[in-house]
Chains A and B, each alone.
Chain A
């Protein structure tokens, strides 16, 4: 199944993209996807990574569905 990845702030520099699609195995979890992303992009494993599925913070054992939008981003700095 395919999921949509989004990146923000310095992670766009690291990955070279604001977003992409990725084929993941059925039953993939957020934690599993994070491991895949860490392997895909050099330098990612040294980062503090926050993530959200369809705009909500979730835990690492959450199962993904076809078409989910998964955002990876560094600690925030608004306000």
Chain B
């Protein structure tokens, strides 16, 4: 399952969508909105997406992880739009025969998403709004 959506998701539903008999281990990663960033309080965030490209990139990352680590399947859900503190941002689930490749593939998928998939976070703080662009913060006003 690859899904880019404004809607919230259920961890159980995502896992149920890809669970199979060949899996002896399912590793999940859940990313959520933190209430601080670089010493600043964060009230909420917005995520912008280049959707057509993000879906293609996520599919390619999934296919690559399956080939590279020999895992059974990978599911990725990423949200966009306005999100509050503690809301779900994204989820990765990796199902594999055994745990080592499941953990490795999950880490690989996450780091590759952070490097390649066209999604950007804007943080709303009491001191102003900022786009996060790689390691940089850009004033959004």
A9 CA to B139 CA in the complex, in Å? 11
A52 adjacent to B118 (CB under 8 Å): yes
B2 within 8 Å of A by Cβ? no
Q: Which of B53, B119, B132, B136 has the most CB of A within 10 A?
A: B53
A79 adjacent to B50 (CB under 8 Å): no
A57 CA to B56 CA in the complex, in Å? 11
A71 adjacent to B47 (CB under 8 Å): no
Once A9-B48, A10-B138 are accepted as A-B contacts, the answer to whether A71 and B118 lie under 8 Å apart by CB is: yes
A55 CA to B51 CA in the complex, in Å? 9
Q: Chain A: interface residue count, which band?
A: 10 to 19
B131 within 8 Å of A by Cβ? yes
CB-CB nearest 10 A-B residue pairs: A75-B134, A78-B119, A74-B133, A55-B53, A9-B120, A77-B132, A79-B114, A10-B138, A10-B131, A79-B113
Where the two chains meet, the residues of B that have a C-beta atom closer than 8 Å to any C-beta of A are 31, 47-50, 52-54, 56, 78, 89-90, 110, 113-122, 131-136, 138, 140
For this complex, 14 residue pairs linking A to B, each with C-beta atoms less than 8 Å apart, are A9-B133, A71-B53, A74-B120, A74-B138, A75-B134, A76-B114, A76-B115, A76-B118, A76-B119, A76-B134, A77-B120, A77-B121, A77-B134, A79-B110
Where the two chains meet, the residues of A that have a C-beta atom closer than 8 Å to any C-beta of B are 6, 8-10, 13, 48, 52, 55-57, 71, 73-79
